[in-house]
Amino acid sequence: MDVPDLPDGGLCALVGPPGSGKSTFAARYPDSWRVCLDVYRRLATDSEADQSATPVAAEIQDLLLDARLSRALNVLVDSTNVFPHVRAGLLARARYWQRPAVAVLFDVPLSTVEAQNADRDRVVPLHIVREHHQLLPDADQLHREGFTAVHLVSELLATPAALRRAAHR
């Protein structure tokens, strides 16, 4: 997959259900750019799935968002971000610091997401994967909310470079 250039000093929200490839995508950028609720839940409780730690994880994430955006450093939000109120919070923080906000939409078919989820160490319950997949917004919705650019993973996968690589296999 090709990765898009992200705006300097801006926020990039990854939007996709569990297992859609968000963390795999984030790993292509510098590690310090990434904020991730799963990581902070694990640091607080030894379990990234322990939802009782979501409030403290969100506080840590907000601190890092402010620390980085106030310095015009890139930040990549590696959470599902499928709920509109969660995206609104991210957009508000970017707006407060007058930084651009873009989204990467993981418009991956449910069958692919289910297969990727099943084939890894941390398997998220199927009903949660399906619920999150149903909640996925489309690109128009993300534009309307205020994201200045929306990159579709389906298109990133189909870029000429990806096709060239596929042809050489």
- List C-alpha distances in Å: 112 to 38, 130, 160: 22, 12, 22
Q: Which two tokens stand for residue 32?
A: 């310090």
Least gap, CB of 120 to Mg ion (angstroms): 10
Residue 9 interaction partner, one of ligand CTP, Mg ion, none, beta carbon < 5-8 Å per kind: none
Give the helix ranges, DSSP H, for the chain.
22-26, 37-45, 54-69, 84-96, 110-118, 126-134, 139-145, 153-156, 160-167
- Which residues, 39 to 68, sit near ligand CTP by CB under 6 A? none
Answer yes or no whether residue 124 interacts with ligand CTP by CB under 6 A.
yes
| φ and ψ of 50, to 5 deg | -75, 100
For residue 10, what are the contacts with CB-CB under 8 A and spacing of at least 6?
74, 75, 94, 99, 100, 101, 102
Least gap, CB of 167 to Mg ion (angstroms): 30
Q: Can you tell me which of 10, 13, 22, 35 binds ligand CTP, judged by CB under 6 A?
A: 22
Q: Can you tell me which of 7, 86, 89, 116 binds ligand CTP, judged by CB under 6 A?
A: 116
Least gap, CB of 95 to ligand CTP (angstroms): 25
- Which residues, 9 to 68, sit near Mg ion by CB under 5 A? 22-23
Answer yes or no whether residue 80 interacts with ligand CTP by CB under 6 A.
yes
Binding site for ligand CTP (CB under 6 A): 16, 18-24, 38, 80, 116, 120, 124
